[in-house]
Amino acid sequence: MQSESARMTTAEQARFRINHPNSKPRSVKVVALDARSEAVVKRLALGQWQNASFLIAKHFDGAPRSGEGWNMKDWLSDLAGRTKDLVDEVATADLVVMIATAGANAQAAAVIAEACNVRKVMTTALIIGSESKSDEELSKSLASLRPYASMLVIAGNDDYIEAMLVALRA
């Protein structure tokens, strides 16, 4: 008698896989951490997305030193420049994607990651613009983002961000 696995792994049987959504839309917040990545994020936002929103980390300088308290209210803005509450944004996110330019200041990642950690929201960081930066600058960016991202990607081309968001059903 034919085994269960042999019977069920044919192309014919593959046609019977249930054709019904097997997931609910995920909320993905894409945050630009610096000026160059802001331009990339603004371009991305023009696309068609299921449940992705695009934000900018406003305070590129002066991130709190270790041990200092800070107010999470004013760290983000939407693309129109309106302030968005970081805690609220993270609270409604399934994934936060931070976009950073190699060599640029990525201090805002610490604040965003702290908020994500409180809410147990996964963080991914993508480093763009690596082709025009030195190895040293790239290494600095990696070191500054590593503590704050469970997935860290150096993307050779900006178009990878879009590909990744599509792959994640953003």
The least distance separating other proteins from the CB of residue 82, rounded to whole angstroms, comes to: 27
Spatial separation of the C-alpha atoms in residues 170 and 165, rounded to whole Å:
5
Q: What is the footprint of other proteins within residues 128-147 (CB under 8 A)?
A: 135, 138-139, 142-143, 146-147
Site for other proteins contains 43 (CB under 8 A): no
> What is the footprint of other proteins within residues 102-131 (CB under 8 A)?
122, 124
Residue 54 Cβ, how far from other proteins at the closest point, in Å? 17
Interface with other proteins, residue 79, by CB under 8 A: no
Fill in the amino acid letter for 129. G
Q: How far apart are CA 51 and CA 30, in angstroms?
A: 11
| CB burial of residue 94 (10 Å; 0-12, 13-18, 19+) | middle
Taking CB under 8 A as the rule, which mask of x and - marks residues 10-29 in contact with other proteins?
xx-xx--x----xx------
Of the pair 2, 82, the CB lying nearest other proteins is at 2
Q: What are phi and psi of 134, to 5 degrees?
A: -75, 160
Nearest to 112 by CA among 75, 62, 65, 64: 75
The interface region with other proteins, picked from 38-46, 60-68, 108-116, 162-170 by CB under 8 A, is 162-170
Helices (H), 33-168: 35-44, 86-91, 108-119, 135-145, 159-167
Nearer to other proteins, 71 or 117 (CB): 117
